[in-house]
Amino acid sequence: MKSEFVLSGKEQLTKTVWAFCFTSDRLPNWTAGQYMEWVLPHDSADKRGIRRFFTICASPTEKELTFATKIIDEPSSFKIKLRDLNIGDPITARDIDGDFVLPKNPQEKVVFIAGCIGITPFRSMVKYLLDTNEKRDIILLYSNKDSSDIAFSGLFKDAEKIGLKTVNFFTDEKGKDTQNNVYGFITPEEIQARIPDWQERTFYVSGPEPMVEAFEKMLKTMGIKGRQLKTDYFPGYSETYQSSS
């Protein structure tokens, strides 16, 4: 079912990540972590076309439909058009879908692993938990090239009161490791050292497709079973956020 929305706001969250907020007379119902197909017709569309799948990074408790995406140098024609939208401009979206959602059992212990733009479904989930004051045992491992790439840091800081613990990993930045910041990659050793009960947890991995594939392989090698692993990948990005050694 198609729905038309209008742009109500946009914000550059980091040097490469932008958030776009949309509203309509009647917002659809969605579960935190789901996605929609977005359609943005424009002149001289390139070969990637006028359609994209974006995760809804807004919580169902919010009054706008928001997604965030990475816009780098020489972006696609779709992202140029998206970036240049003005307040009130229309966009069409349809087909809410996806099972990358919180466990039904609130007692289930979880690890979120996110690389750059892969943080968006976790933003939706964490905002929902905050707004409903639902406590969960969640550890977020958030990997970026450097500290300037972090998005939604204020929200995740606030979520400490409902049980979220965040550890940031910086792959291209040097510094001294602390309880909350690691200057290096997410490795089996780091997971085992920082999450003593890692074998008992369900792992959610979200980010660029190569990254998700690499972590899926790594976690299975560590002994994580298929039922303990949920993945959500973003096509069109090449980063892995995992050491090749």
Q: Would the pLDDT of 196 be above 90?
A: yes
State the average pLDDT for the chain. Answer: 94
pLDDT band at 245 (very low <50, low <70, confident <90, very high): very low
- CA dihedral in degrees (15, 240, 233, 175; nearest 10)? -50
Domain 2-97 falls under CATH 3.40.50.12780? no
What is the CA angle 110-139-241, rounded to 5?
A: 100
pLDDT band at 1 (very low <50, low <70, confident <90, very high): confident
What's the pTM value of the predicted model, to 2 decimals?
A: 0.94
Architecture of the structural domain at 110-234: 3-Layer(aba) Sandwich (3.40)
- CA dihedral in degrees (101, 38, 207, 125; nearest 10)? -30
Contact 204, 181 (CB under 8 A): no
Which of 73-77, 107-111, 217-221 shows the lowest per-residue confidence on average (mean pLDDT)?
73-77
How confident is the model over 28-69, as pLDDT tens digits?
999 999 999 999 999 999 999 999 999 999 999 999 999 999
Which one is predicted more confidently, 55 or 236? 55
Buried b or exposed e, range 130-145, using 16+ CB within 10 angstroms: beeeeebebbbbbbbb
Structure confidence at residue 239 (pLDDT): 60
Boundaries of every domain in the chain? 2-97, 110-234
